[in-house]
Chains A and B, each alone.
Chain A
Amino acid sequence: MNVLIDKFDVFAGGFWLTLQLCLLAAIGALLLGALLAVLRISPVPPLRAVGTGYVNVFRNMPLTVVMFFAAFGLPALGSNADFLRIPVIDSLFTRLGTDLPYFRFALIALVLYTAAFVCEALRSGVNAVPAGQAEAARSLGLTFGQNLRYVVLPQSWKASVVPLGSVIIAMIKNSALAGFFGVVGDLSATADQLTGAEGYAFVPVAIGISIGYLIMTVPLGALLDRIEKRQAVAR
């Protein structure tokens, strides 16, 4: 078990990189997912079709395949995903001194994939609001946007937050795939490096990276439980 102490800095570095990846991916997936959810519930059929088509593609494709497309498809198209180097954000997040495009590729794949699930979690919340609420809002003359903003979304949030949390937890675990698609130094790549290149025993290393993931996921799960309990009381 000495590897946990000897190589603490490697684990910590892996944890930090995975945390950055997950934080950025969660923000991106929530934004894109919210946009998709609005498309899917909009009264305009072509917009609904775009939202539905997106969800059907990305919810039903293995993340591994999405990662393949991002990591090998984008370079084949001549892109290093440099459009993601948004000035301020780019300088806030350090990449352990290396700036390989794979971090951005993995980020794109995680966002595209997770957004489909975020969309569905948000939409299930919207569907949990009785249809009469939106009807009453429409009958007052509220537009589609006002209806969402003042009547439907404030009530849907309660029903969305728990499934949304599960989606984000799943995303954190899914981020482990990034290490196998060229992201150097995230938690899953750490395991590969320590057991493969440096010859440490697998089990202690696996325990180490498990702890890393649990530090991110367990508090999130606990937070969700608390929210759920509070809602049960309010009901």
Chain B
Amino acid sequence: MTKGEPLIVLDGVNKWFGPLHVLDDVSLSVGRGEVVVVIGPSGSGKSTLCRTINRLEPIDSGTITFDGQPLPAEGKALARLRSEVGMVFQSFNLFAHKTILENVTLGPIKVRGEKPAAARERGLALLDRVGIANQADKFPAQLSGGQQQRAAIARALAMQPKAMLFDEPTSALDPEMVGEVLDVMTSLAREGMTMVVVTHEMGFARHAANRVIFMADGQLVEDAPPAEFFANPRSERARDFLSKILTH
């Protein structure tokens, strides 16, 4: 599935939160169209890893390259880069004072300078795609968690990003709403979107991922295709983690 040079490259990335070494010499490359699922125990640095890719978390050493360009420092160039990397958060983070449709069109209109009418039309098409076109004029607080998260995915897609980052997109959802969000993500993966997904949904990792990354204590411990990783984890740490989550 990977073609040409990789889209996202992390090389020797280190990050500390005070004395805590959250990312310990992490190197990773994600090819175009590849779906990489990052799993690991909480506090292992997987969310931080995801957030460094669009520099919501700055790193202390190492390099991150996106589409051949090193991540720019704070400023206009960084804003442009972020507009090309969609991000979906655990807590949705829809703009609370704007309707669902306004949430989806804000980026295209203000960042890309699209005409409001055109942005609206495309926004409605995206909302239809994630199955909530009938909610377009409601405010985020009026929607269920699953609907909000699908709106957040539509908002990120509206920027026509080259890659999508998902930071535990289903962890804040009621169990019966997890499926509807994962369905949208699976269809995105099938269409060839480059995705980095931090999640605890092992089912999604099994059927939608090209590769599974296992992290523990800030280190990238394993990097393998899902079938291989789940059937035959190489490290003790990963075996231990899988035995705890797969037995119940």
Question: Residues of A at under 8 Å CB distance from B?
Answer: 43, 130, 132-133, 135-143, 146, 150-151, 154-155
Contacts and interface: CB of A to CB of B under 8 A. Distances in A.
Interface size of B as a range: 20 to 34
B159 A141 contact: yes
Given A140-B159, A150-B110, A132 B91 contact: yes
B94 A136 contact: yes
Chain B CB count within 10 A is highest, among A130, A132, A139, A143, for A139
A132 B95 contact: no
Contacts of A146: 110-111
Given A136-B89, A143-B76, A143-B79, A154 B159 contact: no
A136 to B, nearest CB: 4
Given A150-B110, A154-B97, A155-B97, A139 B85 contact: yes
A142 B107 contact: yes
A140 B97 contact: no
A92 B187 CA distance: 66
B46 interface: no
Contact of A138 (B56, B86, B96, B155): B56
B54 interface: yes
Nearest to A141: B83
A136 B89 CA distance: 8
B80 interface: yes
A46 to B, nearest CB: 13
Contacts of A140: 82-83, 106-107, 111, 155-156, 159
B111 A132 contact: no
Interface string B152-176: 1001100100000000000000000
A116 B97 CA distance: 28
B144 to A, nearest CB: 18
Given A139-B82, A140-B82, A141-B80, 4 more contacts: A136-B87, A140-B159, A141-B81, A141-B159
Contacts of B96: 133, 155
Nearest to A132: B93
Contacts of A133: 93, 95-96
A138 B93 CA distance: 11
Closest 7 CB pairs of A and B: A141-B83, A132-B93, A136-B93, A140-B107, A139-B87, A141-B111, A141-B82
Contacts of B106: 140, 142, 150-151
Contacts of B156: 139-140
A64 B94 CA distance: 47
A139 B54 contact: yes
A140 B76 CA distance: 12
A132 B155 CA distance: 15
23 contacts: A132-B91, A133-B95, A135-B89, A136-B87, A136-B89, A138-B79, A139-B85, A139-B87, A140-B106, A140-B111, A140-B155, A141-B80, A141-B82, A141-B83, A141-B84, A141-B107, A142-B106, A142-B107, A142-B110, A143-B76, A150-B110, A151-B106, A154-B97
A141 B156 CA distance: 10
Contacts of A154: 97
Given A133-B95, A146-B110, A141 B74 contact: no
Contacts of B110: 142, 146, 150
A133 B95 CA distance: 6
Nearest to A149: B110
Interface string B59-82: 000000000000000101001111
Contact of A135 (B56, B83, B85): B56
Nearest to B111: A141
A137 B76 CA distance: 14
